[in-house]
Amino acid sequence: MRPAEFASEEIIAAGEALQAAGRNVTGFALRQKIGGGNPNRLKQVWDEHINSKSATQAEPVAELPVEVAEEVGTVSKELTERIAKLAIELNDKAVKAAERRVAEIVRAAGEQREQAERELVDASQTVDDLETRLDESKAESAGLEQRMTEVQATNQAQAVEVAKLRERLVAAEQATKMASEQHAAELARMNTTIEAERTRHQQETEQLRAELDGQRQANQEAVAEHDQTRAELTMVKAKAVVAEQAHQEQRETAAQETHRVAERMTKVEADRDEARNLAGQAREELARLTGQMQAVERQNAELMAMLGQKQGDATKPKK
């Protein structure tokens, strides 16, 4: 990039401002003052301005008239000696002036050297400032690039996370909808099953109660019949000891079986889950009791027949 060009008036104004501030006018000081430009050109413009102020323009000299020339010639002879003498004096003054000039040149050279040193210091300071600003700019640029990269990565990660959250939200809504429908269907099915089970349970309970009632009635009839048989056996107890003992055993067995059936009936009422099994067992026990009662009736019939025969034999006359 080419350095910015500044007008001479701006450069001169900047130099005058530096002089007013008591600072040395150097190329780098001018550059820092106006904010840019080539330090060599800036110093060159300022030096030309200073030289133009001290330089004097030579005016053209008119030619002498003849009378004046003759008078000059006349006077020149008189002045020759004086000029020679003056030349000696002038030579002496010139030597002294040369010495002073040399001293001034040496002094000016020292001032220029000091000026150059000051400009070098200003240049070094300016270079350091520029390098510092450049490093800061580079660091700031690197930091901005890193932040931009981080922001882009964060935005990308957030976009991915948002997409995932949307997918999860859609899946959750679908799962919630399906779960709600399944729950409603399951609830309806469970209600139907519970109602059916309740109806079945009521039917089974009523059936078991009817069976138990029938069994109780049968047991009561068996007990009544047993009591009647016991009364009849009491009448012939004295004549049929063997039959009484058999009947007593059968009676005890029947009482035990009746007690066992009563206990089973109680258990059936307490535990409905085993009602069917107990009802089956009760039926079996009832059938067995019925068989036993039938056997007792047959034995009673046989005993009655035996008693009738014995009574007939007793009534016959003895030979």
Concatenate the DSSP letters of all residues of 18-85 into one string: HHHTT----HHHHHHHHT-S-HHHHHHHHHHHHHHHH--PPPPPPPPPHHHHHHHHHHHHHHHHHHHH
* Residues 15 and 124 both lie in one domain: yes
Residue 35 within any structural domain of the chain = yes
Residue 298 within any structural domain of the chain = yes
96-119 pLDDT, tens digit per residue, is 776 777 678 778 767 877 877 787
d(CA 164, CA 171): 10
Residue 208 within any structural domain of the chain = yes
pLDDT value, residue 48:
94
Residue 23 within any structural domain of the chain = yes
Among 305, 299, 307, smallest CA distance to 253 is for 299
CB atoms within 10 A of CB 48: 13
Residue 177 within any structural domain of the chain = no
Phi, psi values for residue 60, rounded to 5°:
-65, 140
Residue 182 within any structural domain of the chain = no
d(CA 154, CA 160): 10
* Residues 208 and 122 both lie in one domain: no
Residue 216 within any structural domain of the chain = yes
How many CA atoms are closer than 13 Å to the CA of 283, on its beta-carbon side? 8
pLDDT value, residue 182:
83
211-254 pLDDT, tens digit per residue, is 768 877 876 886 677 678 677 767 756 676 775 676 678 778 86
For residue 17, pLDDT over 80 is answered with yes
d(CA 303, CA 297): 10
Tokens read off for 190: 């469970």
Domain span at residue 40 reads 8-50+79-149
For residue 208, pLDDT over 70 is answered with no
* Residues 142 and 218 both lie in one domain: no
For residue 52, pLDDT over 80 is answered with yes
* pTM of full prediction above 0.85: no
* Residues 38 and 142 both lie in one domain: yes
Residue 1 within any structural domain of the chain = no
* Residues 138 and 216 both lie in one domain: no
**Which position has the higher pLDDT, 176 or 6?**
6
What is the total count of domains within the chain?
Answer: 2
At 12, the pLDDT band (50, 70, 90 cuts) reads: very high
For residue 62, pLDDT over 60 is answered with no
The beta strands (E) that lie in 99-165 are given as none
At 44, the pLDDT band (50, 70, 90 cuts) reads: very high
For residue 8, pLDDT over 70 is answered with yes
Share of the chain above pLDDT 70, in %: 80
- Of 149, 165, 192, the one marking the end of a domain is 149
261-310 pLDDT, tens digit per residue, is 678 767 757 777 776 787 678 788 878 888 888 888 888 888 888 888 87
For residue 56, pLDDT over 50 is answered with no
Most confident range, picked from 40-44, 241-245, 310-314 = 40-44
For residue 93, pLDDT over 80 is answered with no
Q: Span 163-188, mean pLDDT?
A: 80
What is the average pLDDT score of the chain?
Answer: 78
d(CA 32, CA 5): 14
d(CA 176, CA 173): 5
Q: Span 5-9, mean pLDDT?
A: 87
For residue 30, pLDDT over 60 is answered with yes
